[in-house]
Structure formats: C-alpha cells, structure tokens
Amino acid sequence: MIQFNRFYTKCNIISLMFVTISLFFLIFKGLNFGIDFKGGTLIELRSSSNTINVSSLRENLSQMDLGDISVKKFGNEQDFLIKFENKDNKDDIIEEIKSNLDKSFGNNFNFRRVENVGPKVSAELLKSGIIAISLSLTLMLIYIWIRFEWQFSLGAILALFHDVIITLGLFSFLSLEINLSIVAAVLTIVGYSMNDTVVIFDRVRENLKKYSDIKIFELTNISINETLSRTLITSVTTLLALFSIFFFGGEILKGFSLAMIFGVIFGTYSSIYIANTVLVRLKVSQKTILKDEEKN
Amino acid sequence: MLYFSKLRIILVTLTCLFFIFIAINNLLSQNNRFIDKKINLGLDLQGGSYLLLEIDNSPVIEQKLQNTSSLLRTYFKEKDIRIANLSLINNKIRFSVEEKFKQNVIKEFQDEKSQINPYYPRFKSHQFDIIENESFLEISLSKQGIVELKNSSQDQALETVRRRIDEIGTNEPNILKRGNDRILVELPGLDNPMRIKSLLGKTANLTFQFISNNDQDSFGVEKFQYEDGLDEDFVSKRIILSGDNLLDAQPRMNNQTNETVVSFSLDRVGAKRFGKATSSNIGRKLAIILDGKIISAPVIRDTIASGNGQISGGFTFQSATDLALLLRSGALPAPLNIIEERTVGPELGQDSINAGMIALIIGFILVIIYIFFKYKIFGLITNITLIINLIILLGILTLFEATLTLPGIAGIILTVGMAVDANVLIFERIKEELKNEKNNIIAFDSGYSKSRTAIFDANITTLLAAIILFFMGSGPIKGFSITLGIGIFTTLFSVYFIARLFTAIYVSKNKDKEAMI
C-alpha cells in the first residue's frame, strides 16, 4: 500500500502555492484571448513557395494599417496564422489583404480559413463561456450535494476549482490562446475531475460504513489505494486518446487537447490530494454519514 | 447480474446489428434501400461559410415614426383636433395640441380599440406609449411595439436573404433566425463568400425620381450623390416607381452602345404609372437611385408605355448580373451587418477529416493495446465492446443525422479513452471480490453490482458537462457536446449489455478457473 496520506499536508501547501501563483498570473497577466473572445480577424493561409516567412509576411501586412497584428507559423513551414484587430470591421478587408499579398509575393497563397468576429459577438461569446463554466460548477455542486454529505461536496468542489484555476493559470503563464474550444475543454475537465473524485469518495463512504474504528486519515489512504489501479488505468487511456489528438489531430485541436491533458493530470492529482484532504481536515467519521442517513 | 435470458440476448444482438447496419450506410456511396440517412459533416469539415448577420433596425424605426407622424396629422385633422409643432426627436414624435383636446388625444392612444395605436391583447400592450412632457405630448414605440417591428423586419429580411442566396444557387444553404434581429446563414461548400457578402450587404432600395433643380417642387427636393461620388444633383422627393414594382430584371448587352445594361419589366401598376410619368415629363432627367446613390439619370425622350426599360450606368457584366439579381430578389427592409464570419476552405476541411481520422485510429489502437495488456481475455472483451460501442455511436449520429465537427471527432476519441472506465471499474472491483470469494460467479455478480453507483455517478457528471455545452456552445463546439453526450449512453449500453454478455458467457464456461482476471 502506498502511503499517500504522508504527503497530505505537503501537497496541500504546494497546491495552495500553485493556486496562488495561478491567480496572480490570471489577475496581473491575464489570459491571451483569441478572436472568439476579443473580436478581430484570423486568416490561416498556406503558401506554395518556400521563400515566404513570418517576418516578410509581417512586414508586408504591417503597411496595411490593420491595427494590432500577429503573424505566426501554424503547424508546418508553409502554413501561417495571421490575426489582427480589424477595428473598423471592414467587410472587404480579406479581399484587400489577398490582393495585396498576391501583388507582393505572386499568387502563392491559399486562404484556408477565415474567421471574423465582431466586438458584439465576442463579448457575447465571452459572457456565455463564463456562464457555461459557472453553471457547470454549480450543477456539479448541486449534484454532489444530493449524492453525498456536505463535507464531500466541499472537497469535490475545491478540487474542481483547483483544477480549473491551475489549468487556466498555466494557459496564462504560457500565453496560450483561449478560444471557444478551450471553454469546451475546461467543461470536460470539470466533468472528468468530478468523475475521478466521485469514484474515490464512493469508496470512502463505503469504507466508512464498513470500519468504525479506522480514522479518516488512514481510511482515505485505504480507499485511494483500493481505487488506485482504476484511477491510473482510466487516466492512462484518456491520456492516450488525448495525446493522439494532440499529435495527430491537426493544429486546430492542439489547444483543446493540451488543456485537456493538463486537466486530466491535475484532476487525477486533485481527487487524491485535494478532495480527500478536505475530508480529513473536516474530521469526517462514520457518524457523519450515519447522521445523514438517519435524517433521510 | 450475470444471467441473461434468451430474449435479452436476441434483443441486444438485434440492437447491435441494427446500428451496425445504419453506420455502414456512411461508407456507401449510394444509399441503400432501407435508409437514406448519413452523418452530416459540419462546415469545419466539409468546408463552407458561416455568416451571422445583424439587422440594423434604426432606419426601420425611423421610417415607422415618420409614417406614423404623417398619419397622426390626417387622423386628428378629421376629428377637428389641430396638432402643431409636429417633430421627430430621439425616436419620439413630439407635438403640441390645445389644452382642451389634450386628454382626448391621450385617451385616443390609450383606448384598447384605438385605431391609431394598435393594441396587442396577448402582450397587454399598445404599439406606442404616450407621455406628457411639459406642454408637449410625446409618442414613442413601446417595448412590445419595437419587438413587433423587429420581428416583422426580420421576417422580411429572411425572405430577401433566402431569395438572394437561392439566386446564386449554392447547395443546401441553411438560413435561420437568431434572436429577433439576427439571421444565421450557413453555406456548405462555399470557400469564398466575398460575392455573397457583398450581395447581402446591399439593401437594394431602388427608386425612380425626377431630377429637379427647381426649389418650387411641391414634394420638396433632396440632394443625392452619384454612384461615382464625383457629382451630385437635387432630386424631387416624389417617388415615381420603386423596386416593388419590378417583375423581372436581367443583365443585357445593349447592341447599339455595346454597353452592359440591366433591363427590367414592370408590373401593371408600375407600367401604368411609368407611362404617365414619362409622357408628361419628356425632356426631364429621371434619376435611378439605388441605396441613396444615383446610378444614372437618363433624359426621357419618349413615353414609355410598355413597362419595359433599361438601366445603364457603366456596368461590367458581373456588376450588371449582381444588380439584376438584387432587383429580382427585392429590397431588404434594413441594412444588414455581418457580425461574425467563419469560412473554412474545402482543402482544410479534408485535412481536418484526415487528421481527425488518424488521431481516432491511433488513439483507438493505443487504448486497445493497453487494455489488452492489462486485462488479457477480459481486455479482449472490453476491446470488442469498445469497437461495437463506437459503431453504435456512429449509428446513432447517423440516425439523428447529427452534424459531425472537428471537435466532435475529438469527442469521439475522448469517448474511446473514457469508455473503458466503466469496464475498468467493474473489473477492478471483481478482482477485489475474488480475494475473499472463491466462487467466480458470485464474485463477478457482486463486482458488477457494487461498482454500479460509482459508474452511474461518474457518467452523470460528464453528461452534465456535455448538456451545458450543448445549450451554451455554438457550431463546432455543439458537435463536441453531441458526440460526448451520446458516447456516454452508448458506453453504458455496451458495458452493461454487450460486455456483460460476453463476460457472462466466459465466466459460466470457466466457473472453476482460478485467477480469472
């Protein structure tokens, strides 16, 4: 049996540190919002010539008065991603850029993807993204409250916040782009982390009923160990699927799968070291669940 | 738990075969005889354009108030109530009326049978609100009045947008209302929406009005710019004809001038009016005005009674074709703004499909190898179940003709990764049970029953996340929530019916074998 409980306090301190650092980044550095949430225009283009590079593209486009502009490679040598503010929301800006690039570099470009999000829409998308994440956290809270005692709900919710905050903090730290698919990833992380926590909690509760003489500190450790191989196998298969998306699923799904990979790792960790330690600190005992059952 | 009745075995087998049959339809180039359903590919996979248009209703509201204020004047004139100082300020009609009539006027507006201010009994609201402001009376559209106005302008705009897009002839466009002032347009297979964007961006309000440099014009005059922006002219406010009177419009080559023109034919009312106006105004210039700009202003040389005419204005063949199309499909009630656009070229779409499929196959193989390595014979059972699970998932997507998007494929891959969870929970539990229980059948039975609550809880949480995404997400993300959500049901079905059936058969044949898992 692995003595997970020996590290409860240490891990709590480390988690607290990471959450604090993440919040620090989120507040002071903020998130790198993509055009979904910030508004603007995105062009993914492929050049058929090897001589075109990021700096020549940037130089050319910066003469066009497009506002804040970013040009970067997208996947391979010949794919580029151009993003700019498009403040005036001009409809024919894409054609202008196309003819300008064709004039400067020859007809070498294929516009593979164009996205243009107006300021009104991006504000709405941001709002609905925030609502979606808050709503999912609330629903999870309600669900776990119905299924378990309040001490368990608190543990599960703290674990969720831990996962979401650190994942977003990492995105802030690495300046990775936040777009609609990241919101989807965060919601899935919430589901996954909850899933993991619930399985261990289910065992903790079962063991609480079984052994009246074992302290919660020891009991959580037993439960974690009993469910450990399941926790690991499921994490591994999920990660196998996610890494496969990350490496082979194309450039568009990179951010999504990366967020999910972070989330699955944090989620697995937090269901062991956050959710359970809350039970320990709240001194959950057999009485806790018996009291609740009497009430019903 | 391990017992399966014959009937249940048959039902499970039939269900599986049914979905396999449906899923296979996606691979066939032709439809088979029994089912013509296929999974729809989202715009991000098949390529295409997504446009979200917002109707700028301010001109509609202003027009409405202008019409109402002239209506007011005649309405109260008939009742011998003189209204004065009629003006439009900040979307309000303001006027003054003699003190003794004031209450009468207000009553007229607040009466449920009011002729000047329609009442909507369903919403318990009038079209207009009236308030007293110092010595004036002020009329503005009520909340419900604005909603009604927006709804009707959205209906009109939707019709016009549909006609314009149909005229261009893209395949299977999807045109939907969003809220009460937006229209969503999905154009599969279209990789350059430039032309559609420019066509949708024009109101196409066409009028024929005489040029009138004479200030004495009884209708008043208004200044208009020419299309080229170089010149301007005064034009009478009297509208001879509008786009509503057009029956047809086509691009033509004028043989005499070798110029591309748009020829049009008028309906009966229009032809009559046009004939009358041209006969009494020979020698005058008739301005053809489109969206507030004069396209051309030919001199009337003769009476035009046939109801046919031509518009010239230095068109190219393309611009004449577009103008004819716009005129045929009618004017928009208000300008449309494109507030969101997402276009994916067919090449990127195909690349995404390929990448998604490769990721799915590799992810699938990795999971299968890992599970087989972990559980041997039961791993094999899990893997067969996983394959059937995937086919059922595709079958359900086909049955509902759901839209598969790139994130949707990610959802399927994720389902593969998470689907084994339920089987893992069960098998791990059985392993524990086997430590204390020598009878294989009893151990398997209690393994299944004791793991049930955990499996149920775990799947509900993921389902909740999927449901929220379904309602909050748009387009591609919705596709993710669909595959993730359906994946949960197919997983539970395949774990509790298919995997358990295989397990039951295997265990009952190897009752006394030791170290089963």
CB-based contacts of B295, cutoff 8 Å, min separation 6: B227, B288, B289, B311, B313
Q: Are residues B359 and B504 in the same domain?
A: yes
Q: Are residues B375 and B413 in the same domain?
A: yes
Within-domain flag for B179: no
Longest CA–CA span in chain B (Å) reads 111
Same domain assignment for residues B423 and B408: yes
The mean pLDDT value for B446-460 works out to 89
Inside any domain, residue B152: no
A56 CB near a chain B CB, below 8 Å? Answer: no
Domain that holds residue A14: 4-34+121-295
Residue B195: pLDDT band with limits 50, 70, 90: confident
pLDDT over 80 (residue B491): yes
In the numeric block, which tokens belong to residue B174?
A: 């999807």
State whether A250 and B477 contact (CB < 8 Å). Answer: no
Identity of the residue numbered B133: N
B140, B93 Cβ separation under 8 angstroms: yes
Selecting from A110, A191, A253 the residue whose C-beta is nearest the C-beta of B410 gives A253
- Residue B161 located in a structural domain: no
Are A122 and A172 a contacting pair, CB within 8 Å? no
Indicate whether B328 and B400 sit together in one domain. no
Average pLDDT score over residue span B235-242: 87
CATH of the domain at A44: 3.30.70.3400
A100 plus A216 within the same structural domain: no
Asked if the structure places residue B165 within a domain, the reply is no
Tell me what pLDDT residue A27 has.
Answer: 96
A147/A254 same-domain check: yes
* Residue type at position A71: V
Residues A189-216: tens digit of each pLDDT:
988 898 899 999 999 999 999 898 899 9
Q: Which of B312, B342, B372 is the last residue of a domain?
A: B342
> B517 in a domain, yes or no?
no
3-class DSSP assignment, residue B466: helix
| Res A221 pLDDT > 70 | yes
Burial of B239 (0-12, 13-18, 19+ CB in 10 A): middle
Top residue of A135, A141, A233, A243 to mutate, by most chain B CBs within 10 Å, is A233
A61, A208: one domain: no
Domain count for chain B: 3
B353, B414, B452, B463: best to mutate for the A interface, most A CBs within 10 A: B414
Predicted pLDDT of residue B515: 67
pLDDT of res. B3:
75
Q: Lowest mean pLDDT of A30-44, B20-34, B197-211, name the range.
A: B20-34
Chain A residues close to B351, C-beta within 8 Å = 250
For residue B418, what is the nearest residue in chain A, using CA coordinates? A238
Query: Where among B144, B159, B174 does a domain terminate?
Result: B144
Q: How far apart are CA B456 and CA A179, in angstroms?
A: 31
Quick one: tokens of A20? Answer: 């604090």
Rounded to whole angstroms, how far apart are CA atoms A151 and A284? 7
Confidence of residue B439 (pLDDT cuts 50, 70, 90): confident
In three state form, how does the secondary structure of A7-68 look? Answer: HHHHHHHHHHHHHHHHHHHHHHCCCEECHHHHCEEEEEEEECCCCCCHHHHHHHHHCCCCCC
For residue A86, the model assigns a pLDDT of 79
Residue B245: which residues within 8 A CB-CB, separation 6 or more? B266, B267, B269, B270, B273, B274
Q: Do B371 and A199 touch (CB under 8 A)?
A: no
Same domain, B358 and B328: no
CB B46 within 8 A of CB B72: no
Q: Report the pLDDT averaged over residues B246-253.
A: 90
Would you say residue A105 has pLDDT above 70? yes
Does A273 lie in the same domain as A238?
yes
Indicate the number of domains in chain A. 2
Picking from A88, A117, A146, the residue at the C-terminal end of a domain is: A117
Contact residues on chain B for A114, CB-CB shorter than 8 A: 341-343
Express each pLDDT in A141-188 by its tens digit: 888 888 888 899 899 999 999 999 999 999 999 999 999 999 989 988
Q: Is B492 inside any structural domain?
A: yes
How far apart (Å, rounded) are the C-alpha atoms in residues A82 and A72?
Answer: 7
Q: Do the Cβ atoms of B370 and A240 come within 8 Å?
A: yes
In the three-class reduction of DSSP (H, G, I as helix; E, B as strand; rest coil), residue B236 is classed as strand
Put residue A266 in one of left, alpha, beta given phi > 0 → left and psi -120 to 50 → alpha.
alpha
Nearest to B374 by CA among B512, B517, B189: B517
pLDDT band at B193 (very low <50, low <70, confident <90, very high): confident
Per CB-CB distance under 8 Å, the chain A contacts of B370 are: 233, 236-237, 240
Mutate to test the interface with B, among A90, A115, A253 (most CBs of B within 10 A): A253
Query: Taking CB atoms and an 8 Å cutoff, what residues of chain A touch B409?
Result: 249
| A132 shares a domain with A103 | no
Pairing of strands B136-141, A69-74: unpaired
Q: CA of A188, closest CA in chain B: separation in Å? A: 6
* CATH number, domain with residue B257: 3.30.1360.200
Residues B366 and B498 in one domain: yes
State mean pLDDT over A248-252.
92
- Residue A23's pLDDT band (boundaries 50, 70, 90)? very high
- Is B154 inside any structural domain? no
The per-residue pLDDT for A41 is 92
Same domain, B41 and B63: no
- CB-nearest partner of B367 from A110, A117, A240: A240
pLDDT band at A242 (very low <50, low <70, confident <90, very high): very high
CATH code of residue B393: 1.20.1640.10
Residues A161, A71 share a domain: no
Give strand pairing partners of B487: none
Are the CB atoms for A111 and B345 separated by under 8 Å?
yes
> Both B377 and B326 in a single domain?
no
Find out whether B202 and B337 touch, Cβ atoms under 8 Å. Answer: no
* A191 contacts B461? CB cut-off 8 A: yes
- What is the reported pLDDT for B2? 67
pLDDT at A50 over 60: yes
Whether residues B314 and B445 share a domain: the answer is no
> Of B100, B108, B103, B111, nearest to B76 (Cα)?
B108
pLDDT at B198: 85
Looking at the structure, do residues B371 and B446 belong to the same domain, yes or no? yes
- Residues making up chain B, counted from first to last: 517
Over 80: is that where the pLDDT of A43 sits? yes
pLDDT over 70 at A291, yes or no:
no
How far away is chain B from the Cα of A143, in angstroms, using its nearest Cα?
Answer: 8
Chain A CB contacts of B342 under 8 Å are 113-116
**Closest to B356 measured CA to CA, from B303, B410, B302, B400:** B410
By C-alpha distance, which of B149, B134, B141 is closest to B93?
B141
Same domain, B334 and B381: no
Contacts B432 to A, Cβ<8 Å: 226
Which among B52, B457, B488 is the top mutation candidate for probing chain A, defined by the most A β-carbons within 10 Å of its own β-carbon?
Answer: B457
At residue B32, the pLDDT reads 63
By C-alpha distance, the chain B residue nearest A36 is B340
Residue A286 sits in the same domain as residue A197: yes
A127 and A244, same domain (yes or no) = yes
Cα(A62)–Cα(A39) distance, integer angstroms: 19
> pLDDT, tens digit, for every residue of B306-325?
888 888 888 888 889 888 99
Distance CA B118, CA B129 (A): 11
Q: What is the DSSP string of B300-324?
A: P-S---SSEEEEEEEE-HHHHHHHH
CATH of the domain at A127: 1.20.1640.10
The Cβ of residue B406 has, within 10 Å, a number of other Cβ atoms equal to 27
pLDDT at A174: 94
Give the neighbor-by-neighbor strand order of the sheet with B336-344: A69-74, A76-84, A40-47, A109-117, B336-344, B48-55, B182-188, B174-178
Cβ of A237 within 8 Å of Cβ of B355? The answer is no
Distance from CA of A62 to the nearest CA of B (A): 23
The boundaries of the domain holding residue B110 are 58-144
The sign of the torsion formed by the CA atoms of B399, B400, B406, B408 equals negative
- CB-CB under 8 Å, B457 with A136: no
Say whether both A161 and A58 belong to one domain.
no
Both tokens of residue A27?
């507040």
**Res A296: pLDDT:** 52
Looking at the structure, do residues B77 and B15 belong to the same domain, yes or no?
no
Which candidate from A120, A184, A199 shows the least CB-CB separation from B473? A184
Q: How many CB atoms lie within 10 A of CB A34?
A: 22
Spatial separation of the C-alpha atoms in residues A58 and A43, rounded to whole Å: 13
pLDDT band at A293 (very low <50, low <70, confident <90, very high): low
Same domain, A47 and A170: no
In a domain, B259, yes or no: yes
Which residues in chain A touch residue B340, judged by CB atoms under 8 angstroms apart?
116-118, 121
Cα B338 from Cα B427, distance rounded (Å): 55
Write out chain B residues lying below 8 Å of A256, CB-based: 407, 410
| Whether residue A28 is found in the same domain as residue A170 | yes
A285: left (phi over 0), alpha (psi -120 to 50) or beta: beta
Q: Which residues pair with B137 in a beta bridge?
A: B95, B132
Instruction: Among B308, B342, B376, give the residue marking a domain's end.
Output: B342
Stretch (H or E) spanning A229: helix A216-248
B/e letters for B181-194, b = 16+ CB within 10 Å, e = fewer, are bbbbbbbbebbebe
d(CA A257, CA B435): 39
Answer whether B338's CB lies under 8 Å from A116's CB. yes
Quick: pLDDT tens for B328-375.
Answer: 888 898 999 999 999 999 899 999 999 999 999 999 999 999 999 999
Query: A217 with A291, same domain?
Result: yes
